[in-house]
Amino acid sequence: RVLVTTLIDRDLYSRDDIFDLYGRRWGIENAFRDLKIRYACEDFHGTSPQFIEQEIVALMLLMLIESLVEETALETLPPAERGGGDDRRPKRCNRAALGDRIPTLIAIGLRERVPRHLAEAFRRGIAACAADRAPVRRPRSYPRICRSQYGRWRIQRRHREPFWRDAA
């Protein structure tokens, strides 16, 4: 493995520490990938910088709620299946399915007095999140190849002009 860095003090930064830090960075990279791909964060609804910032913060809040629901769901599993702390987990929750369950779980969780059938629905939702897990895939060791006759981009993406060009 090759990793280029400007942290050259070997006494302060060991090789294993740098690789550990690099491994932790992938969580952030995956979060940005989710923002771009799953939430289409590059196609903003707002046109001013304040609205764009508000939209990004709202999406980050949704991702935080997803993480909290995932942690709550994992607490229902036996300790051997959970993984621990920053250790890599053998399985991860399906974030897309988790995001679909969030509005229902929040609606149930915000009620002051929860009827028995809604409390049971909440427990079923958390159990479904915990059960809907898949093994983490190993990184691809070969380049991705598109074999479609239409090419990689079948759908024309709608690109809007930046808001500052409209004002000119």
15-39 pLDDT, tens digit each: 788 777 777 777 778 778 888 888 7
| Same domain membership, residue 51 and residue 29 | no
End-to-end distance of the chain based on CA atoms, in angstroms?
49
Give a yes or no: residue 162 inside a domain: no
- 31 and 51 housed in the same domain: no
Is position 2 within any domain? yes
- Whole-model pTM: value is 0.58
Residues 114 and 53 in one domain: yes
Please give the Cα distance from 113 to 36 (Å, whole number): 38
Count: domains in the chain: 2
Which structural domain range is residue 15 located in? 1-37
The candidate with the shortest Cα–Cα distance to 160, out of 74, 71, 45, 57, is: 45
Same domain, 25 and 73: no
Asked if 100 and 68 sit in the same domain, the reply is yes
The reply to whether 70 and 110 lie within a common domain is: yes
How far is 59 from 105, CA to CA, in rounded Å?
Answer: 17
Higher pLDDT pick, 58 / 140: 58
Dig out the tokens for 133 from the structure: 């897990």
In a domain, 59, yes or no: yes
Identify the pLDDT of residue 31: 79
User: What are the residues whose beta carbons fall under 8 Å from the beta carbon of 105, sequence distance 6 or more?
Assistant: 69, 122, 125, 126
146 domain-assigned: no
Q: For residue 92, list its beta bridge partners.
A: 134
For residue 64, CA distances in Å to 69, 98, 99, 106, 159 come to: 9, 12, 11, 13, 28
Whether 55 and 22 map to the same domain: the answer is: no
Do 63 and 121 reside in the same domain of the chain? yes
Does 143 or 117 have the greater pLDDT score? 117
Residue 9 lies in a domain: yes
Buried b (16+ CB within 10 A) or exposed e, 40-60: ebeebeeeeeeeeeeeeeebe
Same domain, 15 and 51: no
Assigned domain for 164 exists = no
73 and 102 fall within a common domain: yes
Residues 30 and 101 in one domain: no
Place of tokens 């093994």: 135
